[in-house]
Structure 1
Amino acid sequence: MGFSVVAIDADVGLRNLDLLLGLENRVNYTVVEVLNGDCRLDQALVRDKRWSNFELLCISKPRSKLPIGFGGKALVWLVDALKAREEGSPDFILIDCPAGIDAGFITAITPANEAVLVTTPDITSLRDADRVTGLLECDGIRDIKMIVNRVRTDMIKGEDMMSVLDVQEMLGLALLGVIPEDSEVIRSTNRGYPLVLNKPPTLAGLAFEQAAWRLVEQDSMKAVMVEEEPKKRGFFSFFGG
């Protein structure tokens, strides 16, 4: 898509974004070393050889501890430092939040001005998503979009899974994308090879690309109820917008 992106893995001690991208052997420095003065910020940034405009930044190494006093202010400083680099501010800074709603989550969302919430169409995930939405709004983040993950149209038709329309009505959030259940996701993550690079693309890969374009265009999609499914209709015929 041509945009410059820095992805920050903010999961302290349990990082995995480097594994998913196949960059685990190239992470030599982290934010901890930057804050301790052991390296420069540009040394901690890992550039992906497949995309010259994509960089990964990890908060810490596995099983390491953060410096005393590390919190939201430190992450705000980090984001400001990325924006002030000589080569220019990246078009997007994405912060991968840790699971849960403890101090790590609160720290990760401190510098954010918008959020993408990923949920699945089951009641436990939706309860968690509703709680997280409330915390984001309390922190002043009003621009919240959601991605509904691991959707199975066969189960929706059999009324064994909530539809995306049901999810959207329950959470009241703008719909950024719908990702179908796809076994290729597991294969790609185990290989450390991003799904969107697969040739030919899979349904999930196409769905991720469409969600990325909607994020760039500040657009959203609408879930629609399909009462009858004509023969040979694909996954995306279940959704409009």
Structure 2
Amino acid sequence: MTETTKFGVPESDFGNQGLTEALAVGGENHTVSERVIVITSGKGGVGKTTTTANLGMSIARLGYRVALIDADIGLRNLDLLLGLENRVLYTAMDIVEGQCRLDQALIRDKRWKNLALLAISKNRQKYNVTRKNMQNLIDSVKELGFHFILIDCPAGIDVGFINAIAPAQEAVIVTTPEITAIRDADRVAGLLEANGIYNVKLIVNRVRPDMIQKNDMMSVRDVQEMLGIPLLGAIPEDTNVIISTNRGEPLVLNKKLTLSGIAFENAARRLIGKQDYFIDLTSPQKGMFQKLQEFFLGEE
């Protein structure tokens, strides 16, 4: 008798060629334990979903199997940023309600087949998905052999946030160098710790080096010291974000990477445990990236 997952996915039947096999196409056979990471923020508009899309795509391009889970119920946008909105037939709510199987709702990205998306309903309320629902969903996704499961968490600290972080072991807080965003990020950090999530990293988004030079914006070092969270990455302000969003292509897929695209790739490498040149302090000459570092960190 064929065994099934909690949400009725036959272990031996993941689509025409098998979802597990398909996710391995073009990827390396990494022997790593799965990591469940929630991407969160204290307030909306700081680039949390953009960060999720670019981190996920970058990690997939490094050969890992990645599942992106849109947990922002009622405000679904991750499918748009990935250009997958027209392929959403079923959502996580349909799985919870028994209307479909997990393999029917997971959307495999055709550009990088080891990346998959599970969308959430845009017509429901946050209380429609419980902590137990989220835990069961992620447990079932784990069984499919993903190395990284990134959860795009709702902004704020209400019930949607509490439910979305339930299955996570790690967190990435996204903020901007604005005092209101930093205050909200600090509160989120406290709630994560209160819920047993201690492995937390920080991404400071929409950094303006020109404003930092004029002392019109806090440096990344200032933000990091205020929050006391290890820095995962600093992403410069980039108008190309709007273009990439409208195209449904993460910045990291651009043939000619912008500085923000490079910064997202660096953050992704750091997230999987690799070192990158962004934080290299040993260069004897001031190249472009060292200059950027000085801008971001407020060094001279």
Please report the TM-score for the alignment, with normalisation by the length of structure 2: 0.72
User: How far apart are 1:64 and its partner, in Å?
Assistant: 3.0
Cα distance change on mapping 1:12 and 1:32 into 2, 3 Å:
same
Aligned twin of 1:227? none
Deviation at 1:223, TM superposition (A): 10
Q: Which residue of 2 aligns with 1:135?
A: 191
Using a 3 Å threshold, how does the CA distance of structure 1 residues 100 and 239 change in structure 2: closer, same or farther?
closer
- Cα deviation 1:6-54 (Å, max 9, x = unaligned): 0000011110000111100000001111122211100000111001000
In 1, Cα distance between the equivalents of 2:264 and 2:90?
A: 29
Mapped partners of 2:161, 2:287: distance in 1: 45
Pair 223,156 (structure 1): closer, same or farther in 2 beyond 3 Å? farther
Alpha-carbon distance between aligned partners in 1 of 2:262 and 2:135, rounded to the nearest angstrom: 33
Q: Residue type of the partner of 2:259? A: L
Match of residue 206 from structure 2: 150
Residue 217 of structure 1 aligns to a residue in which SS?
Answer: coil
Classify the secondary structure of the residue corresponding to 2:98: coil
Code of the aligned partner of 2:116? E
Say which of 99, 111, 114 aligns to 1:53: 114
Assess, with a 3 A threshold, how the Cα gap between structure 1 residues 138 and 67 changes in structure 2: closer, same or farther: closer
In the TM superposition, residue 236 of structure 1 has moved relative to its aligned partner by 3.8
The equivalent residue for 1:117 is 173
Compared with structure 1, are the counterparts of its residues 120 and 66 closer, same or farther at alpha carbon in structure 2 (3 Å cutoff)? closer
Q: Residue 219 of structure 1: CA displacement?
A: 6.2
Give the percent of matched residue pairs that are identical in Structure 1 and Structure 2: 60
Conserved 8 A contact 2:177-2:204: yes
C-alpha contact 2:241 2:251 (8 A) present in aligned 1: yes
Q: How many correspondences in the alignment?
A: 231
Indicate which of 246, 250, 273 corresponds to 1:194.
250
1:79 aligns with 2:138: yes
Aligned counterparts, 1:7-46, within 5 A = 7-46=68-107
Give the CA deviation at 1:65: 4.6
**Structure 2 unpaired stretches of 5+:** 1-61
**TM-score, structure 1 as length reference:** 0.89
CA distance in 1, matches of 2:179, 2:171: 21
Q: What SS does structure 2 have at the residue aligned with 1:188?
A: helix
Answer whether contact 1:177 1:208 (CA < 8 A) is retained.
yes
* 1:73-112 alignment runs, 5 A limit: 73-85=132-144, 89-112=145-168
Describe the superposition over 1:116-169 as per-residue Cα deviations: whole angstroms up to 9, x where unpaired: 000001100100000000000000000000000000111001000001111111
Gap runs ≥5 in structure 1 = 225-229
RMSD between superposed Cα atoms in Å: 2.3
- Compared with structure 1, are the counterparts of its residues 67 and 35 closer, same or farther at alpha carbon in structure 2 (3 Å cutoff)? farther
